[in-house]
Amino acid sequence: MASTVLITGCSSGIGAAAVRAFADRGWNVAATLRNPAGAQFEQGAGCVEAFALDVTDAPCVEQAVAQAQARFGRIDVLINNAGYGLFGPFETATPEAIRRQFATNVEGVFAVTRAVLPGMRAQGSGVIINIASLTGLVAMPLYSIYAASKYAVVGFSESLSHELAPLGIRVKVFAPGSVHTDFSGRSMARTFKGDGGPYAASIAKVQAAFVANRASGGAASSPQALGQALYGAATDGSAQVRYVVGADALETMRLRKELGEEALLAGLRQHFGLAT
């Protein structure tokens, strides 16, 4: 019987690329997204079926997981990919904006993970991969709420890996650097209106640095490369928990080790034009 992966946030980007990476290798893929109407995925050598899943809606999560299990018989791998970025100063972030960020990026991971665990426990095996970010390891400026959500995912994943290991379930956390997706477009929310008022100068500098990095080609990874890396993490059979992926992410972690935290953070401020 073919193995089955359930992936959240499959409408585009990393999620859609992961669907293709697994399907091409003959896996059953439960591709979940908030609105599956009209969603089209190439079948590859496997079977891909779309399911409606809003990670902030607990009954919807339970229903989607139950439907996927009924359709394919089991879930061998879960990839918690659904999420979005919240950009801007902390001071201008409303309580509602903060709640929404954590409801999606953190509580959504909790909900889907909780829903698949009974089945994985019963079969005595499974792999759970939670998508964090380089910003969940080294925080970038004006991403304080997003960084907090991704730091939470990292901590959750590492602790969960200990409690589930005796049950035959491996937990991994995937921390990519910049990615060639629409993350900074329709998937990006802002904490501020207009130019950001007292933070306008800092916002302009940080945005200019990101634009310049994209214009230069930077070191961003393609969604396809990350989809392949996710397949590798899911199937490598190792006890490795943390996967830092992408040239820029690896370079940043190298610098943190070689320079130390204080020098790295000072370098980041200088890079984004925020040095005093």
Reported as type and span, the H/E element at residue 175 is: strand 169-176
- Residue 129, classed as helix, strand or coil, is strand
Torsion of CA 143, 149, 155, 158, to 10 degrees: -100
Reported as type and span, the H/E element at residue 29 is: strand 28-33
- Residue 96, classed as helix, strand or coil, is helix
Backbone angles phi, psi at 137, to 5 degrees: -120, -40
Please report the DSSP string for 30-62 in residue order: EEEES--TT-----TTSEEEEEE--TT-HHHHH
> What are the structure tokens assigned to 234, written together?
């899911």
Catalytic residues: 146
CA pair distance 5, 114, nearest whole angstrom:
16
> What are the structure tokens assigned to 121, written together?
């426990």
- Residue 108, classed as helix, strand or coil, is helix
